[in-house]
Amino acid sequence: ADRAILPLLADYGAVVGRDGTAVRVAGGARRGIRADLRDAPDLAPIVAAMACRAEGESLVTGAAHLRSKESDRIAASVAAARVVGCAAEERDDGFRIRGPARTRGPVASRGDHRIAMAFAACGFDVDDLACAAKSWPGFAHALASLVS
């Protein structure tokens, strides 16, 4: 299901290339996107973080079940978007975010590894990167090596 990020990245404006099993992604326009995440709900936090970097409105639908993950990921994503200066609203099955962000945070991860990793990977300050260890113990180190 996580492969669904590739067409979303292209919609966002990134240049996505494939060579066999390798994928290369390069920056681009950072446009708002529309995403039905019914079949890929774990992508919601990264789509929210991307929306905070985009020009214009992004809309996520089909993800009502996100309210019962490690955190209420709909509420956490909207709260994070607001903290960084975006207009954002919760919807029953997702959220709407209008970017771009005006600040870097700090974003409250709410102890949710996906919220922490998504917003940190998009360059926002996150209150607790240690919770990322649930799914990627070396995340903070990997991120630091990318930005140094």
Residues annotated as catalytic are: 42
Amino acid at the residue 84 = V
Residue the block writes with tokens 């209008």: 98
The H helix count followed by the E strand count for the chain is 5, 6
The DSSP bridge partners found for residue 26 are 15
Q: CB within 8 A of 35, min separation 6: which ones?
A: 8, 43, 47, 58, 59, 60, 61
